[in-house]
A and B are shown apart, each in its own frame.
Chain A
Amino acid sequence: MHIIDSGNVAAATGVKLSRAQVIAAYPITPQTPLTEKLSEFVESEELDAQYIPVESEHSAMAVCIAASTAGTRTFTATSANGLLYMNEQLHWAVGARLPIVMCVANRGIGAPWTVWNDQQDTIAQRDVGWIQIYANDHQQIIDSVIKAFRLAQTVSIPVMVCYDGYLLSHTYMPFDRPDQEKVDGFLPPFKAKNFLDPENPGNFNPVTLPDVRPGQDGTIKPGYIEIRHRLQMDLRASLEVYQEIDADYKKDFGRGGHPFVEEYKCDDADFVAVCIGSLSYHLRDVIDAMREDGIPIGVMGVQMYRPFPDEAIVQALGGKKHVIVFEKALSYGNQGALYADIKSALYNAADRPTIQNFILGLGGREIKTEQLLAVLREACANPGTAEDTPRWVGLKL
């Protein structure tokens, strides 16, 4: 059934349909209405879950780690500095292989304080080991949350579902709310592989020695590096798993089919604009206008950022003439993180395009359609001459 509501409510509805069992979250703008909605669902008994109020994001993730270790389907949400405050626990959650799902309403990071949108918060967490999925509109938010729970519990790796603060979190638009019955069919109940079980006591993640050691059961127990290597292998294997989950979702709900990148008018394009999040939809209007002028350009939104879908990226961008990467985040002192990752993926491609990087929209600076149009027109007129240094769009000083 279609409803019109905010992105935060789309996320909360996805969590409800996924039948999360434990929710612990600390409110922070622009995520707050999401946690408020979830607490309403729990209070009204529409969602049979424990809602555990906490005094900080660090505690929120600590509660999620405990609840997930006890074998429950667990959810939290945050933004910006709240996400950073969780950082130490984020590493723990993934190292412990806990299938926690978290929504992040993307917001710029202080100092100086900002409550508005950019993507520095989650991009800065790219090396933690969590899977990162980005939604471009409310439909993708609710669909991604449901898919994220199944992905997390299949691969035993936590998943972040990220969406632009305000631009999506507080904007209202129509989206389809899937039927509970169909979601139940798609997302089986969570059965933890390793959990706190009085019948089978275990000691989880104690000090793990640098080397392997013999266990009392006669098997060889892994050292730290074996455990970390397996995490990396499992993350890489998650790409294939997510592709299958996305295909299943499409079969059941009719939406999806582009788990890694979503292309618009890219097939016959010489030029491709690339970005993460709602900006990739905004750019569609710009692409349409440029197409009217005969410029063969398309736009590609990156939907999964970690694990990095390098094969899909190479497939989409190999053979193109020029690629323009827009980013609302930066690996400070270097370049845009997505730009660097795409360059790295294209390094071995036979027919690799020239590529350039634009930084924009930080701290909620409005991105105007006319501005994007001007930047892209110039980039397409002078491909190949671009410097390997990010350029900033819309600076006024």
Chain B
Amino acid sequence: MTTENFEEIISRGTPGPGDGGKTGSWRVLRPEIDLKVCIPAKTNKMACFTCWLYCPDCAVSKTIPPVIDYDYCKGCGICAEECPAGAITMVDEATPMKEEK
């Protein structure tokens, strides 16, 4: 039988941070999680993780508490929109920078 391997060059992306490079610098708004409101953080249970599920860049970890990888988070705001507890706020990138000053 022909030994040539077919279907070797295809278009397939692997979900996960970094498939498109370090995209954290694209961000204008930064999601910040209020751990007093976040369901897994508050209950200490492996529950909810809506932010992890919805993040198109897989930049949120499925951990207690969830951690956002700001090297890759583009600041799209989907996590803040979807969080059932309203625990995530989009903060202007300029604000924390001013505070740091």
Contacts and interface: CB of A to CB of B under 8 A. Distances in A.
A and B touch in the complex (CB under 8 A): yes
Interface of A: 96-97, 154-157, 193-194, 201-206, 208, 213-217, 221-222, 224, 226-227, 229-230, 234, 237, 240-241, 244
Task: Using C-beta atoms within 8 Å of the partner chain, give the interface range for chain B.
Answer: 10 to 19
A227 B6 CA distance: 12
Contact of A216 (B6, B11, B12, B16): B16
B6 A222 contact: no
Contacts of B15: 201-203
Interface in B10-26: 10-21
A204 B11 contact: yes
B12 A217 contact: no
A203 B13 contact: yes
The 4 closest A-B pairs by CB, nearest first: A156-B7, A216-B18, A203-B13, A230-B9
A156 B14 CA distance: 20
Nearest to B7: A156
B52 to A, nearest CB: 13
Nearest to A237: B4
Contacts of B20: 213
A73 to B, nearest CB: 16
B7 A97 contact: yes
Dominant SS among interface residues on chain B:
loop
Contact of B14 (A154, A157, A202): A202
A252 to B, nearest CB: 14
Contacts of B12: 194, 202-205
Contacts of A214: 21
A196 to B, nearest CB: 11
Contacts of B100: none
A334 B10 CA distance: 35
B8 interface: yes
Contacts of A194: 7, 10, 12
A157 B6 CA distance: 9
B7 A193 contact: yes
6 contacts: A97-B10, A157-B6, A194-B7, A201-B15, A216-B18, A230-B8
A226 B2 CA distance: 22
A193 B18 CA distance: 24
Nearest to A245: B1
Given A202-B12, A205-B11, A222-B10, 7 more contacts: A205-B12, A206-B13, A216-B14, A230-B8, A234-B4, A237-B2, A244-B1
Chain B CB within 10 Å, residue with most, of A201, A203, A222, A230? A203
Nearest to A97: B7
Contacts of B7: 97, 155-156, 193-194, 234
Contacts of B19: 215-216
A102 B17 CA distance: 39
Contacts of A221: 13
Given A240-B2, A244-B2, A215 B9 contact: no
Given A216-B17, A216-B18, A241 B11 contact: no
Interface string B8-51: 11111111111111000000000000000000000000000000
B14 A227 contact: no
A215 B14 contact: yes
Interface string B50-88: 000000000000000000000000000000000000000
A222 B17 contact: no
B6 A201 contact: no
Nearest to A204: B12
Contact of A208 (B4, B11, B16): B11
A206 B11 contact: yes
B78 to A, nearest CB: 16
Nearest to B58: A201
Contacts of A156: 6-7
A222 B13 CA distance: 11
A240 B2 CA distance: 8
Given A215-B19, A244-B2, A202 B13 contact: yes
A203 B11 CA distance: 8
Contacts of A241: 2, 4
A156 to B, nearest CB: 4
